[in-house]
Structure 1
Amino acid sequence: MTKFAFIFPGQGSQFIGMGKELADAYPEAKAVFEEVDEALGQKLSELMWSGDEDTLKLTSNTQPALMTVSVAAMRALEAKGVAPAKAAFVAGHSLGEYSALAAAGSISLADAARILRIRGNAMQAAVPAGQGAMAALLGADPEQAQSLCAIGASEGGVCEIANDNAPGQIVISGSREAVELAASKVGEVGVKKAMMLPVSAPFHCSLMQPAADEMMKALGGIEIKAPTVPLVANVTAHITTDPVSIRQQLVEQVTGQVRWRESVEYMAAQGVELFVEAGAGKVLSVMNRRTVKAVEGLTLGLPDDVESVAERLG
C-alpha cells in the first residue's frame, strides 16, 4: 500500500464558506463545528460559513477556524473507514500543527480550539500594530535569506527566517525597518524578488517571545497525549511522539522557524509517496510539489474529496 502522510494548512488558507459542504454531508463533520462553537462560546461556524471576511481574517478567529475545518475533514474520512492511524506521519504548517495533533488524538478538539484562540490573541498582542513586518523572498535559498537577515538586523532591528516553505520560497520576519531594509537589498545577494506580506504581526521570530510565554502557561493547563501517528514537528523537521517534547516544541514554534521544506523532505526520505492535505485550500500541496516532485498530493476539503481519498486509501 502507498505510504502516506496527513498534512494540515496554516494561516492564509481561510475563506468564507470553508467546511460548510462537509458539515452538510457528514454528521461527524457537523459535530466538530458544534463542539468548537460550544468550546469557544461563539458561533464560529456562522462566521466561517456566512460571516465577514475581515472578521474571519482576525488571527484569533482564523486559527481555531482552520483547525476546525481540518479536523472535520478527518472525521468525515474516518467515517468512511480511513482512520488517522493508517498514516505514516502527520504534520501541520504553524497553527496546522495543532490540527495534526487534534487529528492524531494528542490534544482534544475543545482544547485545541481554546488554545488556538489564546495563541491568536497572544501573537497579535505581542508586537504593537505597524511595528513588525514579514516578507516573502522569491528565488532565495536559506544561505541567501540568512545573508539578507544579517543585513536587515545590521542597524539594530530584528530580522529572522520565519518559514522555509519550499525551494525558492522563504519568508522573513521581524521589526518593520529591518525587514524593509532586507527586502530592499535582494539584488545584492542574487535573490529575484522580495514581496512584503499583508500580515498583522511578525510571526515566527523572536519578537513573538511574549506570545511564547503566554503559550507556555496555556499549554501547561491542558492534557497532551502521545499521538496515534508520529508528528513531524515544525521546529525540528523530525518526528516526535513524547507529550513533554510536543508541549515544549509548541512553545518554541511561536518564535521558531517553520521548517516545512525540510519536514516534507524528511517524510519523503522515509518513503512517503502521497500527502493528503486535510482542510481548507491546497497551499501545502502546491509547495510540496516544488520540494519533492515525485510525491503525489491530494486535498481533503470537500465531500467529493472525502469519497475519492477514502476510495484510494481504504
Structure 2
Amino acid sequence: MLTLQKNKKTRGSAVSERPRTAALIKKDVRKNWFPYLLVIPVLIWFIVFCYGPMWGLLIAFKDYKPLLGFSESPWVGMKHFIDFFQGPYFWRVVKNTLLLNLWGIAFGFTAPIILALLLNEIRSKMFKRTVQTITYMPHFISLVVVAGMIHIFTADQGIITQALQWITGKEYTSLLGYSSMFRPLYVFSGIWQSIGWESIIYLAAMGSIDTSLYEAADMDGASRLRKMWHVTLPQITPTIVILFIFAVGGLMASGYEKIILLYNPLTYDTADVIGSYVYRRGLREASLSYSTAVGLFSALINFGLLWMTNSIARRKSEVSLW
C-alpha cells in the first residue's frame, strides 16, 4: 500500500511539473525572443540540409536505379550489406580505416597538446607569436596544394626521399609507391598541417586556469615540469576528454579526399579505406545503393563508438558530451 501511494505521489508530481516546465519555457521565450529568433535559421538549415536528406539512406535497402526513381526501385533488404561483409575488400578497408585513425589518435591527437604545453611555458611573447604564426599557416593551405607538395617532396629526387636515402643508406623511388610508407606520410603530413590550429583550443583552456594554482606550486618549490604535470594538464583534462570522445567517434571515418589525392593501386593494401572505397563504388562504378550501405555501416559504427566512449568518460571522469 505504501509503495502504491508513493508511486501515485511520484506520478502526480511528474504530471504537475509538466505545465510548470511549459510555463517556464514560454516565459523564457517571451523574455529572450531575439536569441530564439536568431536560432530559427540555424534549425531550418539543419532540418533541410542535414536531417531532410537522411531519408535517402533507404536506397541502401533498395536496388536503386535513377531511371526508375526512388519509389519504383526494387526493395532488396540487407543484400548490399551482406555483399559488403562477404566481399573481398571488407577486412582490408575496415583494417586500413582503423589503423589509419589509430595512428592519427596516437600521434595527431597528442601533438597539439604537447605544442600547447610548450607554448604555454614560453615567456617571450615575440617568440611565442612567431611559433604560433608558423604553425598556424599550413592550416590555410588548400588540401590539393598540400597533396601536390607531398607528391613533389616524395618523388625520386624529392627532399624527403633524398633525406630518407641518406639516413637509411637505401635507394628509393617515389615513396608514394610503397604501401609501407603511406601511413607515415599521411599521418605526419596531417600533423604538420593541423598541429598549430588544433592547439588553439588547448591554449584557450590554459588561459582560463587560475594563476593562484601556479603561485601555490611555486611556493611548494615545484619545477616547470611539475607545474605542467600537476597543474596545467589536470586543468585542461575536460577539454582533452571531450575532444578525445570526438576523435574515437570518428575511428571509422577518414579524410578520404586526401587519401584519394595520394593513393594509387600500388598502395591499396594500406591506403584504401571505407571512404575511398565508397567513392570508387559510388561515383566511378555508379553502385549508389551499395556505396550507401557501406557508408551507413560506417556511420552506425561511429555512433556506437561515440556512445561507448562518452559513457566510459562519464563514469571515469564525470566529463561527457551528454
TM-score, normalised relative to structure 2: 0.24
Instruction: Provide the TM-score with structure 1 as the length reference.
Output: 0.24
| Higher helix fraction (1 or 2) | 2
Q: Which has the larger radius of gyration?
A: 2
* Structure with greater strand percent: 1
